[in-house]
Structure 1
Amino acid sequence: MADFVFLFPGQGSQSKGMLDAFDGIDIVARTLEEASDALGFDMAALIRDDADDKLGQTQFTQPALLTASTAMLRLWQEQGGPAPVQVAGHSLGEYSALVAAGVIAFSDAVKLVSFRGKAMTEAVPAGVGSMAAILGLADDVIGDLCSTVSDSEHKVWAANYNCPGQLVVAGHASAVERLIVAAKEAGAKRALPLAVSAPSHTPLMQSAADQMAQRLQDVAFNTPACPVWGNANATTETNVDNIRAALVAQLVSPVRWTETVQQLSNAGVSKAVEMGPGKVLAGLVKRIDRNMVVGPAFGPDKIESSIALMNAD
């Protein structure tokens, strides 16, 4: 069996009914019940029906995604799936990775990310901030454009280094609008605003980071069972104090996903499992390293096939 990693997706991978394929599976139902008990609302109904259109609201999206990823992880373990050598998560997914590594108890993690979502929403008033995806330009070109279009009061920054040719920017709405125009003029294939109001992974999230720094001190952290990659520094951590600090830094620093996957590949990791709904990360990994194989986990049959893939030589 070759070394492999679990990759956990972040916000944007959620969808109504994202656990429908697991209906009737006891370990999944128990995970949903545990999340409901921790948060005081029916997590199963939110994910299955989303009757109140809350799944797109950050404070609900984040615990819902973490719950879905953890449910899939637990079924993987129940089915006898092998343990990864390392774990990594994209943005919010870093919390799912910490659950997988045994650093944070699941019940604590869902409460943490619910708090995180609220803090992020409150950090910047609605309409003040925005995010945009820029496709087809080099990272350094976009970085220069961010500096060019920013002024003393309205700024835009690189927020997610997702893969070569795909970078998400965030900041003040007016600066993001200027960046979109500048990117198109510079030859971007696409430059489009995202349906997200909170300018994540920028200095505008400082108040949320300050709140999380305090909140994290009240949560028990354990030494990880395997190395966990941090988004902010694209390195692995095993020290719990450093992991706490990395979660705070993550809110105001860009997600260095391209670099993380490149380092995994350079270390000889050739297989991964996207432990969550959808296949967003599989698509990003394919553009970073075509030789890395990513197995899915968004259905019992997918988990079965990915277990076989990870066990194969």
Structure 2
Amino acid sequence: MTVYVFPGQGSQKKGMGGALFDEFDTLTRQADDLLGYSIKRLCLEDPEGKLSFTPYTQPALFTVNAFHYLKKIKETGEKPDYVAGHSLGEYNALFAAGVFDFQTGLTLVKKRGELMGQSSGGGMAAVIGLTESEIAEVLSRNGLHRLDIANLNSPTQVVLSGLTEDIQQARTIFEKTEKVQMVIPLKTSGAFHSRYMEDVKAEFASFLDTITLLPPAIPVISNIEARPYGEEVKQHLIDQMVHPVKWTESIQYLMGQGETDFQELGPGNVLSGLIRRIQREAEPLTIEKTQPSDAVEHSVTSQTDTIENPLGSVAFKRDYNVKYAYLTGGMYRGIASKELVVKVGKAGMMGFFGSGGLKLGDVEEAILYIQRELNQGEAYGVNLVHQLNKPHKEEELVHLLLQHRVPVMEASAFLNITPALVIYRAKGLVREQDGHIKCSNKIIAKVSRPEVAECFLSPAPERIVNKLLKENKISLQEADLLKKVPMADDLTVEADSGGHTDGGVAYALLPSILKLRDRTMEKYSYAKEVRVGAAGGIGSPEAAAAAFTLGAAYILTGSINQCTVEADTSDAVKDLLQQMDVQDTEYAPAGDMFELGAKVQVLKKGLFFPARANKLFDLYRHYDSLDQIDKNVRNQIEEKYFKRSFEQVYEEVKAHYPPQEIQKAERNPKQKMAIIFKWYFHYSNSLALSGSEESRVDYQIHCGPALGAFNQWVKGTALESWRNRHVDKIGIHLMNETARLLTDRFQSMSSATAV
């Protein structure tokens, strides 16, 4: 098998191209006309010393690489089996595959070089001797959070990208690190293939919209996926600017295709050397073309690859850079842990960190961990739970998300739009050169009622926008842009589920909100469709298949992920969850919305919490103060539920409420009763998270019947034990089995129709 590879920036040298300019004189003249200078003179003589400057380097390399390829085709008369290029070289691979002609390719590269050449204040450095994971550990240990991994050139040659001062600091640290052979600063004007190229990426995307591209006639290995290009050529070229070049994995993939003859076409032999090193130090990727239906140990690690899952919206997967239209929800108090989010992200899905009920410092620590681990453009987000009586808490978290450039928010339990949501949305809005509005801060809203869905489908409320303007929390331009986009990019329709829920029926709720979406899209004439996904009750392939058949663009799971290795709750809770069935849940008051009577669904099997929580709410509804409660009932609550007196609870909670809230409670006995009763919900939640044996029957465990269905599905397999349940394996297994189920059902229906 023949593979042609094309080098990228760094391979340029004076004299490159030689006689090729005369051999391909027509194309040379085209290049001169397009560029406005002599490409031959630049490459052969470089009289003004411009060859090392990015705006000149990239067109020069593209031209010379292209001529080497055309010369090779002229000599052999045969095209290769695969093509690949390193960074800029990928444009030559696409040229070789017929995606664009020479002039179009040079036009693209010229623009790319100009934009990248404008970047300043950044740099790159190659670290030789450490693996990717070892480098990530050094970065994490030394607080070098602003550096990105830009190129994975070989198993032990990794290029870092970031601000100049951070690169210099990293160089000093890595030079003192054991096993590091060398740290080589690269001669670049900017922090290429990193987060710092986002502005360049946006401008290049606008330019690329004007160009027509064709599907590849030869398989081209993508830098950002290390797999052959699909249909989304433009998006790959756009994303390449901020994503690392997965050169090592690309070569491993090609090695796994069989006996391979790699031929480097272009100046020098840098890639040839890297390929020899990869062949010595790394194993080929083994590609699994088929998988048995009972397999549960699916993997998307460096040793295996899975067939692309066809379910869900292609646009959704593209926009969030995921392989599967599959999300995991942000379970409260970090049960959806940072480790869970990373595991999901590395598997080609998206998880939300459960920030609800956590201190800002803990959330920030989790965000930094996730960003360190998911440093190759993998998807992730953070959950924001509505704070009914504490809007400032919402804004504090939003400012943290903005500070750390968290790209996606999951908005949960909202009854309407709040200022915090509008601020997050506004700060991500930019009008691009072509007039389109780009939303960098994406909101995926969980909704279970049509009126709430309509709030998120509509632009930001004018009264909130005006208020934020007066408070100088948003700009005039942001206020104007807010009028033209919906508050959410996507809606997750949540039917009967764990946690906050209205007990909706998916078969009625999802079609209704899809129709509402269509009407709202028509009303506001949005440029981009708001997609609708499904959550609630999804714990088996049959349930997932029903969601996709109803029209869901994606699915989101919750309860089934709480009973996994990565979930940050106690083993005692996971042992209980592993044994539950579909009927083992009950509705109880929600502690954070106790006074409103909002409900959450919780585990009831073997637990007293649901009954006790409902008892407390009944007492709150019927009485105006603690003094009105029957003495025997009071004693029962203090001795059995709380394990302490009301007075002791009140003294404990006073330290956690603002003084003005306590003053209100002193004046209003009913409010004081609510504060004391709400303590039980925090207490019972803490018991469960810690696995305390103090009062096991009082565990508050949010859970829906989906987990019971999941337990039945995996009964008798390795996944029956939660200690074998990893959140990424569950997601992939569920999506692949759903695809098989739908395929079999549709084939069966087609056969029946034919008969």
Pick the TM interval, shorter chain: 0.7 to 0.9
1:108-127 pair list within 5 angstroms: 108-122=104-118, 124-125=119-120
Q: Map Cα deviations across residues 87-145 of structure 1 (whole Å, 9 max, x no partner).
A: 110000010111000001110111111111111122x33xx211111111121111222
Q: Is the 8 A contact 2:68 2:265 kept in 1?
A: yes
CA distance in 2: counterparts of 1:74 and 1:151, whole angstroms: 44
CA distance in 1: counterparts of 2:81 and 2:223, whole angstroms: 18
* CA displacement at 1:210 relative to structure 2: 0.6
Amino acid at match of 1:57: F
Residue of structure 1 equivalent to 2:10: 12
* CA displacement at 1:18 relative to structure 2: 0.6
Establish whether residue 177 from structure 1 lines up as the match of residue 168 from structure 2. yes
Residue of structure 1 equivalent to 2:53: 57
Residue of structure 2 equivalent to 1:145: 138
**Which secondary structure state, in structure 1, belongs to the residue aligned with residue 149 of structure 2?**
strand
Q: Map Cα deviations across residues 173-223 of structure 1 (whole Å, 9 max, x no partner).
A: 111112112212222111121221211100000111111111111111011
Amino acid at match of 2:158: L
Going from structure 1 to structure 2, the CA distance change for 1:291 and 1:141 (only over 3 Å counts) comes to: closer
**TM-score, normalising length from structure 2?**
0.36
Establish whether residue 258 from structure 1 lines up as the match of residue 248 from structure 2. yes
Q: Is the 8 A contact 2:126 2:160 kept in 1?
A: yes
CA distance in 2: counterparts of 1:110 and 1:180, whole angstroms: 35
Q: Map Cα deviations across residues 25-81 of structure 1 (whole Å, 9 max, x no partner).
A: x23x33322211222211111111111111111011001000001111111122234
Q: Map Cα deviations across residues 138-180 of structure 1 (whole Å, 9 max, x no partner).
A: 211112223344467xx11111100021111110111111211
Residue of structure 2 equivalent to 1:272: 262
Q: 2:212 pairs with 205, 220, 233, which one?
A: 220
Q: Is the 8 A contact 2:9 2:61 kept in 1?
A: yes
Q: 1:198 pairs with 190, 194, 206, which one?
A: 190
Establish whether residue 135 from structure 1 lines up as the match of residue 133 from structure 2. no
Going from structure 1 to structure 2, the CA distance change for 1:291 and 1:148 (only over 3 Å counts) comes to: closer
Residue of structure 2 equivalent to 1:189: 181
CA distance in 2: counterparts of 1:81 and 1:150, whole angstroms: 54
**Which secondary structure state, in structure 2, belongs to the residue aligned with residue 252 of structure 1?**
coil
Residue of structure 2 equivalent to 1:297: none
Which structure ranks higher in relative contact order (CA pairs < 8 Å, sequence separation ≥ 6)? Answer: 1
CA distance in 2: counterparts of 1:76 and 1:151, whole angstroms: 45
Residue of structure 1 equivalent to 2:148: 157
CA distance in 2: counterparts of 1:193 and 1:12, whole angstroms: 12
Residue of structure 1 equivalent to 2:390: none
Q: 1:209 pairs with 198, 201, 207, which one?
A: 201
CA distance in 2: counterparts of 1:186 and 1:290, whole angstroms: 24
CA distance in 1: counterparts of 2:141 and 2:194, whole angstroms: 17
Amino acid at match of 2:267: P
Q: 1:87 pairs with 79, 83, 87, which one?
A: 83
> Which deviates more, 183-192 or 272-281?
183-192
1:100-115 pair list within 5 angstroms: 100-115=96-111
Larger Rg: 2
Aligned residues: 281
* CA displacement at 1:246 relative to structure 2: 0.6
Residue of structure 2 equivalent to 1:248: 238
Q: Is the 8 A contact 1:146 1:157 kept in 2?
A: no
**Which secondary structure state, in structure 1, belongs to the residue aligned with residue 151 of structure 2?**
strand
**Which secondary structure state, in structure 2, belongs to the residue aligned with residue 255 of structure 1?**
coil
CA distance in 1: counterparts of 2:21 and 2:104, whole angstroms: 25
Q: Is the 8 A contact 2:20 2:67 kept in 1?
A: no
Residue of structure 2 equivalent to 1:48: 44
Q: Is the 8 A contact 1:95 1:109 kept in 2?
A: yes
CA distance in 2: counterparts of 1:177 and 1:146, whole angstroms: 13
**Which secondary structure state, in structure 2, belongs to the residue aligned with residue 196 of structure 1?**
coil
Q: CA RMSD in A?
A: 1.8
Establish whether residue 33 from structure 1 lines up as the match of residue 33 from structure 2. no
Going from structure 1 to structure 2, the CA distance change for 1:220 and 1:6 (only over 3 Å counts) comes to: same
CA distance in 1: counterparts of 2:185 and 2:21, whole angstroms: 35
Going from structure 1 to structure 2, the CA distance change for 1:150 and 1:31 (only over 3 Å counts) comes to: farther
CA distance in 1: counterparts of 2:237 and 2:4, whole angstroms: 18
Amino acid at match of 1:252: V
Stretches of structure 2 that go unaligned for 5 or more consecutive residues are: 283-755
CA distance in 2: counterparts of 1:105 and 1:204, whole angstroms: 30
Q: Map Cα deviations across residues 222-278 of structure 1 (whole Å, 9 max, x no partner).
A: 111111111111111141xx1110111110010000000001001114101111111
CA distance in 2: counterparts of 1:82 and 1:284, whole angstroms: 25
Q: Is the 8 A contact 1:229 1:236 kept in 2?
A: yes
Q: Is the 8 A contact 2:21 2:40 kept in 1?
A: no
Amino acid at match of 2:12: Q
Q: Is the 8 A contact 1:5 1:269 kept in 2?
A: no
Residue of structure 1 equivalent to 2:229: 237
Q: State, as a whole percentage, how many aligned pairs show the same letter.
A: 36
Residue of structure 2 equivalent to 1:310: none
**Which secondary structure state, in structure 2, belongs to the residue aligned with residue 79 of structure 1?**
helix
Amino acid at match of 1:10: G
Amino acid at match of 1:227: P
